[in-house]
Structure 1
Amino acid sequence: MQAIKPDPQAPFFIVVNAGSGSSETALRRSVIEEVLTQAGRRFELALVDDPGKIAEVAARTAAQARAAGGILVAAGGDGTINAVAREAVAQGCLFGVLPQGTFNYFGRTHHIPEDLGDAVRALLDAQVQPVQVGVVNDRIFLVNASIGLYPRLLEEREIDKKQFGRSRFVAFLSGLKTFFSPHRRLRITLELDGKEHALRTSTLFVGNNRLQMEQVGIAPLSDAVEDGKLAAIAPKSVGKLGMLGLMLRAMLGRLGEADNLVTFSFRRMTVKPRKFYGKRRVKVATDGEVTQMTTPLEFRVLEGQLLLLKPADSEARPSAAPASDAPRMQA
């Protein structure tokens, strides 16, 4: 689909995550108001000071945007962006992003400036392009979804960030601590293209972000995401030293060289516990937010359903050759 320009008079309805503190929130609000006022653009701000209410605020703001023919915008980290994007998909709104998180994988992938003022100015001259959305059961994800050790890592990282501050260094140390703590391994069955594969792993990670795949060094999976697929990564049953080795390879951008790793791409996959009858609830992380879901889990691509405002000068990446869909499994 060719990129199009949105209505230059369409008002912005901006959901702002105010969880980082009143002074920082006031600064963000001031920057947004100053840039849009100088541009003569109509806008409304919806501040979220309670993380538990972000879905409610996003739904209400999306309804306002749809009724006014406006553009729904998320200002925050990947979790905030996910919550607002869910409503943009559900209500058919154009969607903009003002990245304000620690890693900002979604914003960086789509060349959206990390400086708030620059990001707001980019909205004013943006073009609309549909972007790929992943879904696990009925919940979307823009960057990644996972079960097993990774959701636990995210929960403990959030605790550590509240105590020691939000930085990538704190996130790294927290992750290292979680990796070396005792944890149970998953025994799951994957259904792909009508075939079942048994897998034992500490975590199953499903990616929907080219940049994240590139950074850990798995080029075929980066290509797969560009080709309209999701990317799956699962470490085989290894000890703590083996997990440390995988972590170091990921940091160095060489994870694709590891032998004790299962990697593959797909458009649809069902995951269910082995030797377990009936339904079972598991923790699932989607874009950094952890929720409980009932198995079996169905991962799939919801292609072209998010109409994103991207900077007009963002470079279009060439189409990549599709990666192999055949997973290297272990019994």
Structure 2
Amino acid sequence: MEKILFIINPKSGVDRVKALKDLIDKQLDKNLFDPEIAYTEYAKHGTELARNAVANGYKTIVAVGGDGSVNDVITGIQGTDATLCIIPKGSGNGLARTLGIPLDQSRAIALINTGKRIHIDLGKVNDRIFVSNVGVGFDTLVAKKFAKSERRGMAIYSWIVTKHLWTYKEWEWEIEVDGKVLQEKAFILTVANAQQFGYNFKIAPTADLQDGLFDVVIIKKFPKILGSYIALRAFNGSLLKSKYVKHLRGKRVTIRHPKLTILQTDGDVHACGNELKVEMMPAALRVMIPA
């Protein structure tokens, strides 16, 4: 029987946590797994809990939450033989959608009994681990505003985008991809390991979590009246066909701007310096996906 740890952020409330515990008890096959539950108590506690669990012999770690919570657990288990499972509880759930994990919690738990384990790539920006994407530009502004909002969901996300689209000023970036240097004025500049930001907004529709390469997507300055057109292309998977988009691929990416102070990784905003060094970490994480 395999030891399995569920790492849960209890901020969603006592009733919801109890309902989740009941689902785990109902759906998880106790002939296969011996479950334990741990609760996060402060920022980045999920990383500590995951790291300690691996040290104590847990082979499967379940992140219960959104992309930020999942990223914390990944940081704690990357490079080990432990497997990440995801029970989506966030807003965008970008990684869960990319991996084909059900957004329904009951089905996501049941998947743990029957899923298959694969290795996927990770990325590192300076000293920070990410799985889906790292970005600077308009996406960082939106992520910052979204984090401050007490409400969640696609409607709030869309409202923030609409509010700030018309006044956003693009910066000219120095970008280096595997030694090739270019200057681009960018609305969004994303180094993607996975396809989407969340909500099925595919910023890098050709990205592959197992190919050992980043997809660098630059949405260049465009007439703001075309904002809906750009968004539609992202949702239907045709963004890279737009004349306002440049697409490169590589293993090492450097981004520079003298005024750079923040970036987003997997939707969470962090402080940074004026240079970002992004490196590929091939096959650095085991994950559970549908068989």
Q: Residue 43 of structure 1 corresponds to which residue in structure 2?
A: 35
1:222 aligns with 2:206: yes
Q: Distance in 2 between matches of 1:94 and 1:193?
A: 31
Aligned pairs for 1:239-250 (under 5 A) are 239-250=223-234
> Aligned Cα RMSD in Å?
2.6
Q: Which among 4, 11, 24 is matched to residue 3 of structure 2?
A: 11
More strand by share: 2
Q: State whether structure 2 residue 83 is matched by structure 1 residue 87.
A: no
Give, in whole Å, the separation in 1 of the partners of 2:186 and 2:99: 32
Q: Which moved more, 1:232-241 or 1:285-294?
A: 232-241
Shift of 1:223: 5.5
Contact 1:218–1:254 (Cα < 8 Å) also in 2 = no
Verify the 8 A CA contact 1:73 1:98 in the aligned structure 2. Answer: yes
Question: Take 2:11 and 2:96, find their aligned partners in 1: how far apart are those partners?
Answer: 19
SS in 1 for 2:101: coil
Cα distance in 2, alignment partners of residues 19 and 246 from structure 1:
35
Task: Kindly state the Cα deviation for residue 11 of structure 1 after the two structures are TM-superposed.
Answer: 0.8
The answer to whether 1:109 aligns with 2:101 is no
State the SS of the aligned residue for 1:82: helix
Report if aligned partners of 1:236, 1:262 keep a CA contact under 8 Å in 2.
yes
Q: Which residue matches 2:255?
A: 271
Shift of 1:211: 5.8
Aligned to 2:25: 33
Change beyond 3 A, Cα 1:199–1:227? same
Contact 2:195 2:202 (8 Å CA) reproduced: no
Counting aligned pairs with the same residue, the percent is 21
More helix by share: 1
Structure 2 residue ranges without an equivalent (≥5): none
Corresponding residue of 1:173: 159
Q: CA deviation at 1:289?
A: 0.7
Instruction: Note the residue ranges of structure 1 that are not aligned, 5 or more in a row.
Output: 1-8, 314-331
Secondary structure, in 3 states, of the residue corresponding to 1:222? coil
SS in 2 for 1:112: coil
Aligned-partner Cα distance in 2 for 1:89–1:38: 26
Q: 1:112 to 1:21 in 2, by over 3 A?
A: same
Matches within 5 A, 1:186-265: 186-210=171-195, 221-222=205-206, 227-265=211-249
Asked whether the 8 Å contact 1:224–1:265 carries over to 2, the reply is no
Matched residues in 2 for 1:204 and 1:174: separation?
Answer: 18
The normalised TM-score by structure 1 is 0.78
Give the TM-score, by structure 2 length.
Answer: 0.88
Residue 93 of structure 1: how far off its partner (Å): 2.6
C-alpha displacement of 1:305: 0.6
Q: Distance in 1 between matches of 2:236 and 2:284?
A: 34
